[in-house]
Amino acid sequence: MKSFASRIIRWQQRHGRHALPWQSTRDPYRIWLSEVMLQQTQVATVIPYFERFVARFPDLAALAAAHEDDVLALWSGLGYYSRARNLHAAARTIAECHDGMFPAAADAIAQLPGVGRSTAAAIAALAFGQRGAILDGNVKRVLARHGGIAGWPGDKSVETALWRLAESHLPRNAIEAYTQGMMDLGALACTRSRPACPACPVNTDCIAFTQHRTAELPTPRPKKALPEKQVLMLLLLDRGELMLEKRPARGIWGGLWSLPELTVDADAAAHCRDRLGFTPLAQQALPQFSHSFTHFKLHILPIQMQLAPRQITLPGQIWLAPADALSAALPTPVRKLVAQLDLA
């Protein structure tokens, strides 16, 4: 029987993905950008963001010179915004510490903000042909099934076992095709539900397939009830413009422009008057809606408030027409609210 790696490489060359916009290049900038965008995000979602991003920032120097607000604005809607902040910080690190040249060694790549062991190895393999194991979500699923490794891959002991297995399968040559093939196999054939096992190039010695255990491997994350939070969001309007506040650099939606938030039992009019220095004239409760994060569910109670002509603008605030606000770096639920504003 041919080796695990040789079967993956042959399958990738015949059946893998070859037309993604970040393929057919050895440019580490574009490969790095795609790998970061693909963290916890599906390919179909990433493609239009990737194309807009490289059109605006075609190389490392352009990204390093950009303002963070512009980077976040292009990322708006893609989620996990720390990725964008880390991407921008890493570009500046490369410009300042590596003379603008993307580091070639996986160990050096892994020192960049927002880049871990697996992402660094993928970039080093695809851009520089360096031999190293990867272990993203798709690869974990392939290896857990093929090797019959039970347990949730998020557990340290299970992850360690998967890393050992990933390293044991590395080929001596064609690391680019092998690396892409492992990602492609998990995305196209060894899918979470209804895997296409008959089309898999390594099914003959796959423990999950031969033992009819594909439904149980890999072991799912232990279920926990998501905490739920409620918040008031204020859409403050003055002469056709909406007030946005800059979020703190750290935490959820860090660095984005958002709406003032209050606890659900707060007095919105009093907050405007006493804390912000605005005079409310009228307010209207808008339909409630929910937004789910990885670790909790947020229930948003929007209040639209018309203000008397303002006298001041505090630091960290901007006033924009709703159409212009949609071009700013907004969190997804805030973008949804702004898009639905009716100022007639």
249 shares a domain with 170? no
Residue type at 342? D
142 & 206 share domain: yes
> Is 284 part of a structural domain of the chain?
yes
pLDDT band at 252 (very low <50, low <70, confident <90, very high): confident
pLDDT at 310: 81
Q: Are residues 18 and 95 in the same domain?
A: yes
Among candidate residues 179, 210, 241, the one where a domain is terminated: 210
Domain boundary among 210, 245, 271: 210
210/214 Cα distance (integer angstroms): 9
How high is the pLDDT of residue 339? 94
Question: Average pLDDT of the chain?
Answer: 95
274 shares a domain with 187: no
On whether residue 221 sits in a domain, the answer given is: no
For residue 223, name the pLDDT band (cuts at 50, 70, 90).
confident
Contact indicator for 307, 278 with CB cutoff of 8 Å:
yes
Task: Check pLDDT > 90 for residue 62.
Answer: yes
Same domain, 284 and 329: yes
Say if residue 115's pLDDT is above 90.
Answer: yes
Q: What is the mean pLDDT of residues 157-168?
A: 98
- Strand 280-285 vs strand 257-258: parallel, antiparallel, or unpaired? unpaired
Instruction: Say how many domains are in the chain.
Output: 2
43 is a domain residue: yes
On whether both 203 and 244 belong to a single domain, the answer is: no
Strand 228-238 with 297-307, pairing: parallel
For residue 251, being part of any structural domain is answered with: yes
- Do 296 and 269 fall into the same domain? yes
* Same domain flag for 233 and 200: no
Q: Indicate whether 217 belongs to any domain.
A: no
Tell me the pLDDT band of 141, cut-offs 50, 70 and 90.
Answer: very high
187 & 112 share domain: yes
Indicate if 167 belongs to the active site.
Answer: no
Question: b vs e for 3-28, b when ≥16 Cβ sit within 10 Å of the residue's Cβ?
Answer: ebbebbbebbeeebeeeeebeeeebb
pLDDT tier, 129 (very low <50, low <70, confident <90, very high otherwise)? very high
The predicted structure's pLDDT at residue 311: 73
pLDDT, residue 226, reads 87
Mark out the alpha helices in the chain (DSSP H runs). 4-15, 28-37, 43-56, 60-65, 68-75, 82-97, 106-109, 117-128, 137-147, 156-168, 175-188, 207-210, 268-271, 322-325, 332-339
244 in a domain, yes or no?
yes
Assign 343 a pLDDT band (cuts: 50, 70, 90).
low
Instruction: Classify residue 219: in a domain, yes or no.
Output: no
Contact 257, 341 (CB under 8 A): no
Average confidence (pLDDT) over 225-249: 94
* Average pLDDT over every residue of 60-71: 96
Q: Which residue, 180, 210, 240, sits at the end of a domain?
A: 210
- Do both 203 and 61 map to the same domain? yes
Instruction: State what percent of residues in the chain have pLDDT above 70.
Output: 99
Domain harbouring 36, CATH code = 1.10.340.30
Taking residues 229-237, what's their average pLDDT? 96
- Identified catalytic residue from 35, 51, 68, 245: 35
| Residue 164 belongs to domain spanning | 4-210
Q: Are residues 206 and 260 located together in one domain of the fold?
A: no
Q: Which of 159, 97, 103, 161 shows the shortest CA–CA distance to 128? A: 103
Residues 53 and 181 in one domain: yes
Query: What's the CATH code of the domain at 293?
Result: 3.90.79.10
Least confident window among 43-52, 64-73, 313-322: 313-322
pTM for this model (two decimals)? 0.88
- Residue-wise pLDDT for 20-57, tens only, equals 999 989 999 999 999 999 998 999 999 999 999 999 99
196-218 pLDDT tens trace: 999 999 999 999 999 999 999 99
Is the predicted pLDDT of residue 65 greater than 90, yes or no?
Answer: yes
pLDDT band at 330 (very low <50, low <70, confident <90, very high): very high
Over residues 138-146, the mean pLDDT reads 98
| Model confidence band, residue 344 (pLDDT cutoffs 50, 70, 90) | low
